């Protein structure tokens, strides 16, 4: 089997011994293995290496693995297997809620890890993904978290960026008021629709050519909002 048609695994772990062990075990099973020893290095490798699956440690030197997972899920559905010494149930639940596909604690048996990966890969997406969203004059680079309108960078607050990200993740589909409130402000904000109106108004003023006649973010009266795909 050539390197081109072998399934690719990206291992993000700062322990060189773990990376060596995983490389040996996975290459024996026919996988192509790439390594990253920090969170930022891992995010960059996820873009350029296009792995079929990621093995992620939660304790990285520059960012928490949970934060890396959160940022990765802004643009990618690549399967993620958490491999960590942390056994706290709440941390496991948080990782799975954020989009991890499985969670394995250290120490582990390589055979079990490989078996879990086979299960993950059987249900993994096959579509190539880009960390960039473009619609009309809007361009979002999820890796650098830069938002551009007509080629110029636009500053968004953290809340505005999260609101925009959720809408782009559901491009072309209606996202209800309740879903937006829950995903942007949390599960206890579902009845605070005024938040949504205010921030949607701010966001449209920054990214729309005419905020009074929006073309990118359409209002679905009484239901929610829809991010449109507008080709230049």
Report pLDDT digits (tens) over 46-94.
Answer: 988 889 999 999 999 999 999 999 889 888 889 999 998 888 888 888 8
- φ/ψ region of 228 (left if φ > 0, alpha if ψ in -120 to 50, else beta) reads beta
Which CATH number covers residue 32?
Answer: 3.40.50.2300
Total-model pTM: 0.69
> Does residue 147 register a pLDDT over 90?
yes
> Per residue in 93-116, pLDDT tens?
888 888 899 999 988 999 999 999
Q: Does residue 155 share a domain with residue 84?
A: no
User: Which two tokens mark 23?
Assistant: 């490389």
Does residue 148 share a domain with residue 116? Answer: no
Say whether 87 sits in a helix, a strand or coil: coil
Q: Are residues 112 and 73 in the same domain?
A: yes
CATH no. for residue 199? 1.10.10.10
Within 32-134, residue ranges assigned H as helices are 39-49, 65-72, 89-97, 110-122
Residue 145: pLDDT over 60: yes
User: Can you tell me the distance from the alpha carbon of 33 to that of 144, in angstroms, rounded to the nearest whole number?
Assistant: 25
pLDDT higher than 80, residue 189? no
Structural domain boundaries enclosing 92: 3-122
The number of folded domains in the chain is 2
- Residues 218, 140 share a domain: yes
Q: Which of 122, 156, 186 is the last residue of a domain?
A: 122
């Amino acid at each position: 089997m050539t390197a081109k048609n072998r399934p690719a695994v990206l291992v993000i772990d700062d322990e060189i011994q773990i990376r060596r062990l995983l490389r040996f075990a996975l290459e024996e099973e026919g996988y192509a293995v790439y390594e990253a020893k920090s969170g930022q290095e891992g995010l960059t490798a996820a873009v350029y290496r296009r792995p079929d699956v990621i093995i992620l440690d939660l304790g990285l030197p520059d960012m928490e693995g949970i934060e890396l997972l959160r940022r990765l899920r802004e643009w990618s559905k690549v399967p993620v297997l958490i491999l960590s010494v942390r056994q706290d149930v709440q941390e496991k639940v948080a990782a799975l809620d954020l989009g991890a596909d499985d969670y394995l604690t250290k120490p582990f048996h390589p055979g079990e890890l490989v078996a879990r990966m086979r299960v993950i890969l059987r249900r993994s997406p096959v579509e190539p993904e880009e960390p960039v969203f473009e619609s009309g004059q809007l361009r979002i680079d999820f890796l650098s978290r830069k938002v551009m309108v007509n080629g110029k960078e636009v500053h968004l607050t953290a809340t505005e960026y999260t609101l925009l990200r959720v809408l782009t993740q559901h491009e072309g589909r209606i996202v209800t008021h309740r879903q937006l409130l829950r995903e942007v402000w949390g599960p206890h904000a579902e009845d605070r629709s005024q938040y949504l109106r205010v921030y949607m108004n701010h966001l449209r003023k920054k990214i729309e050519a005419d905020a009074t006649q929006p073309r990118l973010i359409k209002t679905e009266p009484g239901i929610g909002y829809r991010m449109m795909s507008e080709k230049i």
